[in-house]
Amino acid sequence: ELKVEQNPLFLSMQEGKNYTIYCNYSTTSDRLYWYRQDPGKSLESLFVLLSNGAVKQEGRLMASLDTKARLSTLHITAAVHDLSATYFCAVDRGSGTYKYIFGTGTRLKVLA
């Protein structure tokens, strides 16, 4: 059974600080996705990582993928309050299965 775990589950950080969210998955997959969800809202796509060593950056967020370690990271640089949200990683089983499994989620709170 494919399991996707994130840590930490909850993160409270000061504005201006850096931090990393980790996403581990249990079986082989070459594709990993990061989403953001604001309270009471839907999910917004952040990054799609399609191969080992893939790195993508948008603003203060940078995501990377290590398929050999079955690990993805979401690095936050100089956090601002607007980044407060829940962040989910998701993995699909591949081979066109459309079976996306979401991680446990990391609730990020950036304090002013």
Partner 1 sequence: DTEVTQTPKHLVMGMTNKKSLKCEQHMGHRAMYWYKQKAKKPPELMFVYSYEKLSINESVPSRFSPECPNSSLLNLHLHALQPEDSALYLCASSQAGVPDTQYFGPGTRLTVL
- Looking up tokens 């999910």 gives 43
**Minimum Å distance from CB 54 to partner 1?**
12
How many residues make up the chain in this entry? 112
Query: Which C-beta is closer to partner 1: that of 10 or that of 18?
Result: 10
Given a contact cutoff of 8 angstroms between Cβ atoms, the answer to whether 58 and 44 are in contact is no
- Chosen residue from 12, 41, 57, 80 binding partner 1 by CB under 8 A: 41
Q: Which listed range, 18-26, 53-61, 69-77, 99-107, lies at the site for partner 1 (CB under 8 A)?
A: 99-107
Q: Examine residue 66 and tell whether it contacts partner 1 (CB under 8 A).
A: no
Residues near 41 by Cβ (< 8 Å), separated by ≥ 6?
A: none
**Minimum Å distance from CB 93 to partner 1?**
10
Q: Examine residue 48 and tell whether it contacts partner 1 (CB under 8 A).
A: yes
Task: Return d(Cα 90, Cα 25) in angstroms, integer.
Answer: 9
**E-strand spans in 67-104?**
71-76, 85-92, 100-102
Which residues of the chain form contacts with partner 1 (CB under 8 A)? 30-31, 33, 35, 41-45, 48, 50, 88, 92, 94, 96-105, 107
